[in-house]
Amino acid sequence: MSATDTLTTAPAAVAEAGDPLDEQAIRRDFPILSTEVNGRPLVYLDNAATSQKPRQVIQALVDYYEKQNSNIHRAAHTLAARATDLYEGTRTRAAAFINAPDSREIVFTRNTTEALNLVAYTWGLEHIHKGDEIIVSQMEHHSNLVPWQRLAEAREAHLKYVPLTPTHKFDVAAFTALLGPRTKLVAISHMSNVLGTIAPVQEICRLAHQAGAVVVVDGAQSAPHLPVDVQQIGCDFFAFSAHKMLGPTGVGVLWGRFELLEAMPPFLSGGSMIGQVQWQRSTWAPVPQKFEAGTPNIGDVIAFSAALDYLTAIGMERVRAHEREMTEYALHVLKEDHPDLQVYGPNDLDWRGGVVSFNMADLHPHPHDVGQLLDDQGVAIRAGQHCCGPLHLALGAPASARASFYIYNTRADVEALSHGLQLVKKTFRPRRRP
Ligand SMILES: Cc1ncc(COP(=O)(O)O)c(C=O)c1O
């Protein structure tokens, strides 16, 4: 039995090439979208935090525990072989999804955060030395920032920040000026989870490589929403999380160039990652097993195949086009209905994904109050710093409210958000004395 035989994952509606995505048909695949919250139909706009899961993914998880559950790469029995095939099938699919040249370059981790830490603790500790420079941008998520802060501290290296342009784009000129002979590592988010800003990663890689630096791309927000081709981007490492792209929680992917992965020491050690173990020393298994110590998250990795199949069947170009349309509509409706709203991120939709973060400039309700009042109306957004403390310092805002879109969101969802904000305003507007 091959990995592909067992999964039936096609979305309910796969349109002809070039047709827009049929979000109503897609919505029927997501059981949670028909639940009610606080007596209202759920309007889910917190996709940058985690996406909802289609029944194909839920069913793949149930099937695994009902029909395939077994440890992988070990026992000589049918179930173990079946589970191993399925687990390795996800590796092949993940490689194809980002156009990796070799599926051995796919390492399963728990999430993007662990994938980035893996690079920091292995490649980083070996290659970063006193006085070296690491470049990140001001829009980084803490997961693509704190590991580099710790690495810089451990090695007495310097962390440098690429500022945002006034229109909240990635500042290529400032980045070029920061590059120098001591630049060893550039770690950049492909798409900001607060601003929606899409970084010009191809150009960043070209410039960084000219300076002799290695480039890590944080793809937590891009892999779910944009077509990604790591060979075209030209990066050295690329990290993403299954749970933000229709898959289960507990699965992340680190892609790395084979020769880099091969030269790196292991991250965690123990079972499954060894070649031979003797009394005093051990040797390591080949890549990628060298980086997958212990029993991995087998069931969730297998169910992630269904998510990758689902997105592949729709087509990432179509996913991107739908979110672009949602973002354009949201920016338009919010501007028309709420001219007082301060919306962050670029207006240029070529450089912006489906994330809209904002503050109410005049009434100053705390974003958490905005989130709470929207939740009362069934509208789920996120409020706070979204794990981007330094970015909020740069924006001069203690926090923000954030709506983020995915394949199942509709114009009606945008309208529900705007209507909800009217009610927030009514609550916070000072009452006139009679
Ligand atoms: C840009 C970005 N990077 C990294 C992460 C971390 O992802 P995870 O929590 O799945 O490790 C997130 C999560 O929100 C993110 O948006």
Confidence of residue 13 (pLDDT cuts 50, 70, 90): low
The reported pLDDT for the residue numbered 365 is 81
pLDDT digits (tens, 9 = 90+) for 243-288: 999 999 999 999 999 999 999 999 999 999 999 999 999 999 999 9
Average pLDDT over residues 203-232: 98
Q: Using a 6 Å cutoff on CB, does residue 6 contact ligand 1?
A: no
Is the predicted pLDDT of residue 3 greater than 60, yes or no? no
**How much is the pLDDT for 9?**
53
Over residues 16-33, mean pLDDT: 89
What average pLDDT does the structure give for the chain?
A: 94
Q: Which two tokens stand for residue 341?
A: 């709203």
Counting the structural domains of the chain, the total is 2
| Torsion, Cα of 273, 278, 282, 288 (10° steps) | -20
Domain boundary among 252, 280, 312: 312
The finding on whether 141 has its CB within 6 A of some atom of ligand 1 is: yes
Taking the centre of ligand 1 as the mean of its atom positions, its distance from the CA of residue 112, in whole angstroms, is 6
338 has a pLDDT exceeding 90: yes
Q: Is the pLDDT assigned to residue 52 strictly greater than 70?
A: yes
359 plus 397 within the same structural domain? yes
Ligand 1 atom nearest 113 alpha carbon = 11
d(CA 84, CA 72): 5
Domain that holds residue 327: 316-424
Residue of 47, 112, 192 with the most ligand 1 atoms within 8 Å of its CB, for mutation: 112
Ligand 1 pocket member 51 (CB < 6 A): no
**350 and 286 fall within a common domain:** no
Residues 122 and 219 in one domain: yes
- Please write the tens of the pLDDT for every residue from 165-191: 999 999 999 999 999 999 999 999 999
Q: What's the number of CA atoms in the CB half-sphere (13 Å) around residue 397? A: 25
Q: Tell whether 107 and 248 lie within a shared domain.
A: yes
| Closest ligand 1 atom, residue 244 Cα | 10
Choose the final residue of a domain: 285, 312, 339.
312
What CATH number is attached to the domain comprising 341? Answer: 3.90.1150.10
Strand partners, 255: 106, 238
How far does residue 253's CA lie from ligand 1's centre (Å)? 12
Given 246, 279, 312, the domain boundary residue is 312
Residue 346, in any domain of the structure: yes
Q: Choose the residue to mutate in 108, 113, 118, 386 for probing ligand 1, maximizing ligand atoms within 8 Å of C-beta.
A: 113
Task: Read off the pTM.
Answer: 0.96
Model confidence at 76, pLDDT cuts 50, 70, 90, reads confident
Q: Quote the CA–CA distance of 26 and 16 in Å, as a whole number.
A: 15
182 in the same domain as 164: yes
One domain, residues 277 and 321: no
Q: What is the mean pLDDT of residues 339-348?
A: 96
The pLDDT of residue 137 is 98
The answer to whether residue 62 is domain-embedded is no
Which pLDDT tens digit goes with each residue over 281-330? 999 999 999 999 999 999 999 999 999 999 999 999 999 999 999 999 99
Provide the percentage of residues in the chain whose pLDDT is more than 70: 95
Distance CA 19, CA 21 (A): 6
Q: How far is CA 177 from the centre of its chain?
A: 28
Supply the residues annotated as catalytic. Answer: 387
CATH number of the domain that residue 251 is part of: 3.40.640.10
Question: Which residue's structure tokens are 């086009």?
Answer: 321
Instruction: Give the list of residues 6+ apart from residue 384 with CB closer than 8 angstroms, or none.
Output: 367, 368, 399, 400
